[in-house]
Amino acid sequence: MATPRLSTNLSDEDPESTGQEVAWTAAVPLRGRATVAGTPGTGGRLLSTVLNGLKKYTTLLVLLILMALFSFVSPYFLTSRNLINIVLQNTYFIIVAVGLSFVMIGGGIDLSVGYQMSLVGVVTAMMMVVYQLPVWLAVGIGLLLGTTLGLINGLIVAQIRTFPLIVTLATSTIFQGISYLISQAKTYRNYPAEFLFIVNGRVLGLPFDVFLALVIVICAHFIYSETRFGLRLIALGGNEEAARLVGLNTRFIKISAYTLCGFLVAIATMVMLAKANTMNSSFGPGTEFVALTAAIVGGVSFVGGEGSIPALVAGVFVLAVLGNGMQLAGWGTYAQYIVRGIILLGAVVFDEYQKKTRRALR
């Protein structure tokens, strides 16, 4: 996509420029000197500034409170062993959530990520176990497949311009059906040692999957704050009509977001596969709910345009800590479902409330 350079009449480069970095979401619109100067605002604006400032740290705050809470409930909770376990169990959720954030911040939604994992997972597993392909080839095929699934979602959403919720709901069941057809509902286990490097290997002293998640998180943060694509994606999510009017190729951006999501979901699938060392078509579905909840808890707006990667990661850990803590407290899995649902509702209400205050203050 070529961007015409229309501007001239610029002053020359000035290395001592004052342009400091600024956060890219509305969650942190005013900070530093910005809070004081300019807008003839009064109490209302100040209140909303405080609210917005808080929002940036809300998720982290909630996480810390939960951790403090559970440390009282169970002495085992705050042990390093338990905390490390929490991290290890959630690397692939983080990767999926990051993938989903591209779609959501761009104003879309992808409900099919769990089913993409199911399909990519069985295909990759069968390539290794049944067809005995070399690991790199099996993984390559899996990543390509995942990317293609994302591309398909993107093409449909961009082409027929309908609710992405419905589109990806439809592709979900298609992916699931194909997954079962291919796997014949069988289980494929015991992968080559090279593949299990994903969970057993270490890079820079970190377990490989943790390292991978970290790299992905950093890259995503960089994309949002430093790249032209990131800015355009955020703009598209904020106001699609305006994006069109400033000449953005909205279809291309949408398709890219879904494709990127598919690629990251495929990477997450490899981690899931290596962790379980077994795969069948029922693995994967359900991940979309966790990732979606984590994203919304982490301040990613479900109408697009807003979100931050650090908060998103904190969102994943809020859910993780909650699950872990409740288990330690002996609450069982079913209660966790209920609590998760309530948390999702709570996050949505909080988000909506904040939007209303902001609108009212205008």
Partner 1 sequence: MSARAEYIVEMKGISKRFGGVQALKNVDLELRYGEIMGIVGDNGAGKSTLMKILAGAYVADEGKIYVDGREVHIRNPLDAARLGIGMIYQDLALFNNLDVARNIFVGREYTRGPFGILLDKKRMYRRAEELIRELRVDIGSPQFNVAMMSGGQRQMVACARAVAFQTRILIMDEPTAALGVREASRLLSLIRDLRDRGISILLITQRIPDVLAIADRVFVLKGGQRQDVMEVSKVTLDDVVTMIVKGKERGGNGDAQVEYKSFG
Enumerate binding residues for partner 1 (CB under 8 A): 3-11, 13-14, 17-22, 24-26, 29-30, 33-34, 37-41, 45, 48, 226-229, 231-232, 234-235, 237-239, 241-248, 305-306, 358, 361-362
Classify residue 4 by burial, with Cβ atoms within 10 Å: 0-12, 13-18, 19+: exposed
CB-wise, 195 or 224, nearer to partner 1? Answer: 224
Of 281, 264, 260, whose CA–CA distance to 142 is shortest? 264
Question: By C-beta, is 38 or 43 nearer to partner 1?
Answer: 38
DSSP conformation class of 242: H
* Least distance from partner 1 to the Cβ atom of residue 252, Å: 13
CB closer to partner 1 out of 288 and 306: 306
Tokens, residue 174:
């298609």
Work out how close the CB of 37 gets to partner 1 at its nearest, in angstroms, rounded to a whole number.
6
Q: Which helix (H) or strand (E) holds 206?
A: strand 206-207
> Closer CB to partner 1, residue 207 or residue 238?
238
**To the nearest whole angstrom, how small is the minimum distance from the Cβ of residue 351 to partner 1?**
13
Nearest CB to partner 1, comparing residues 17 and 333: 17
Single-letter amino acid code for the residue at 180? Y
The two three-digit tokens of residue 150, written as one number: 């994302």
Q: How far is the CB of 108 from partner 1 (least distance, A)?
A: 15
Least distance to partner 1, CB of residue 111, Å: 23
Q: Can you spell out the DSSP letters for 125-161?
A: HHHHHTS---HHHHHHHHHHHHHHHHHHHHHHHHHH-
CB of 49 to partner 1, least distance (A): 8
DSSP state of 36: T
When the beta carbons of 193 and 246 are compared against partner 1, the nearer one is 246
Residues with Cβ within 8 Å of residue 28, at least 6 apart in sequence:
52, 53, 56
Q: Which residues contact 242 (CB under 8 A, 6 or more apart)?
A: 235
